[in-house]
Amino acid sequence: MKTKLSLGPISYYWSKQKIFDFYDEVADSAIDIVYLGEVVCSKRLEMKFNDWIELARNLKNRGKVVILSTMTLIEAASERSRMRRVCEQDEFCVEANDFGAIEILSQAGKKFITGASINIYNQRSLAILHTQGMKRWNLSVELGKKQLGLLQSKKEKDIQSEVMVWGKMPLAYSARCFTARSHNLPKDNCQFKCIDDADGLIMKTREGQDFLCINGIQTQSALTCNLIDEIKTMQQLNVDVLRISPQSQHTLKIINIFSQALKANNQIRGEDRENLDKLAPTGVCNGYWFGQAGMENTVKNKANPIPLVQVEASKV
């Protein structure tokens, strides 16, 4: 089966016009699947529910498979109401990013996708969520190919899998807004400061090393996870979808490089690999994939290779 490329939801706070312009370009790209919606903070109100639906219909009409994503951290009744509205619409499939959304979708008898914020660490979790209606799951960013191989080897045949191959890794969510805190503002009067940081706010160590990226209530890796050299391994493990996370610049170039790699049977030109690394805002990493510290960047751990668990071809 053909490996598909997906574009995850925008993690950052962009203006409505920037979002519409961005997806107008995405519509003409090689992306197969597009995830839409606010997943981080409900105070980001540039885009309303009907705006997302309009975008989704436009992208669908231009040949894309569209998924609506729910928020990851639900703290208020208003947020629960918005999440319910996304789950109860019948036009598009939903990516559930918390168990409240899973409950609504399951009770309605709807198939759904789980985001990387839904912790799936063993086959039993996969099996239980499958009975609830899950049709595709995303690998948590802190897991690597060893854990992926084990999970893929015993999952149900009709469960698809998805792995993020490009983007700053979402590490944690908090009730506090760190962006507001950095401006000495309370969360309830944040003045929407995160709209000034199109790719988040980088934190450095005392030694000046890029360490974390602050994005409102979300903490990301400062470095961009780049797994383009691991596409062949993922295909051997029958990963169905490779996810690219949007960034404010160069997203279309990144999509094109990954698409060309898939078309060329994973033969990646040296110039493409070099150009891809330059497109990351603050450098690249891939450590979790190899079972190492997430900030590490390595081609292959030859001294202590991680065994690859082969699985049967998917019938999905």
The residues spanned by each domain of the chain are 4-290
CA distances from 244 to 13, 33, 193, 233, 259 (A): 18, 10, 25, 17, 11
pLDDT score for 316: 29
Q: Which residue has the higher pLDDT, 267 or 286?
A: 286
CA torsion sign for 204, 186, 200, 65 is positive
pLDDT category at 300 given cuts 50, 70, 90 is low
CATH architecture label of 4-290: Alpha-Beta Barrel (3.20)
- In whole numbers, what is the pLDDT of the chain averaged over residues? 92
pLDDT digit string (tens) for 55-78? Answer: 999 999 999 999 999 999 999 999
Q: CB neighbours of 155 closer than 8 A, spacing ≥ 6?
A: 123, 126, 127, 130, 161
pLDDT category at 271 given cuts 50, 70, 90 is confident
Does residue 234 register a pLDDT over 60? yes
* 158: exposed, middle or buried (Cβ count in 10 Å: 0-12, 13-18, 19+): exposed
Collapsed DSSP state (helix, strand, coil) of residue 104:
helix
Count of CB atoms within 10 A of residue 54's CB? 13
pLDDT digit string (tens) for 111-139? Answer: 999 999 999 999 999 999 999 999 999 99
Name the pTM for this structure: 0.93
pLDDT score for 310: 45
For the segment 137-152, the average pLDDT, to the nearest whole number, is 96
| Percent of the chain with pLDDT strictly greater than 90 | 88
| Percent of the chain with pLDDT strictly greater than 70 | 95
Of the CA atoms within 13 Å of residue 274, those in its CB half-sphere come to 3
Does residue 141 register a pLDDT over 50? yes
* Main-chain dihedrals φ then ψ at residue 244, nearest 5 degrees: -110, 130
Alpha-helical (H) ranges within the chain are 16-26, 49-61, 77-88, 99-107, 123-132, 145-154, 178-182, 231-236, 251-263, 270-278
* 304: exposed, middle or buried (Cβ count in 10 Å: 0-12, 13-18, 19+): exposed
Q: Which residues pair with 112 in a beta bridge?
A: 94, 134
Q: Which of 259, 273, 270, 183 is nearest to 226 (CA)?
A: 273
Does residue 314 register a pLDDT over 80? no
Count of CB atoms within 10 A of residue 209's CB? 12
pLDDT digit string (tens) for 176-220? Answer: 999 999 999 999 999 999 999 999 999 999 999 999 999 999 999
pLDDT score for 267: 78
pLDDT category at 108 given cuts 50, 70, 90 is very high
Whether 40 and 218 have beta carbons less than 8 Å apart is answered as yes
Collapsed DSSP state (helix, strand, coil) of residue 18:
helix
pLDDT score for 156: 84
CA distances from 97 to 101, 105, 181, 237, 248 (A): 7, 12, 25, 24, 23
pLDDT score for 265: 83
pLDDT score for 203: 95
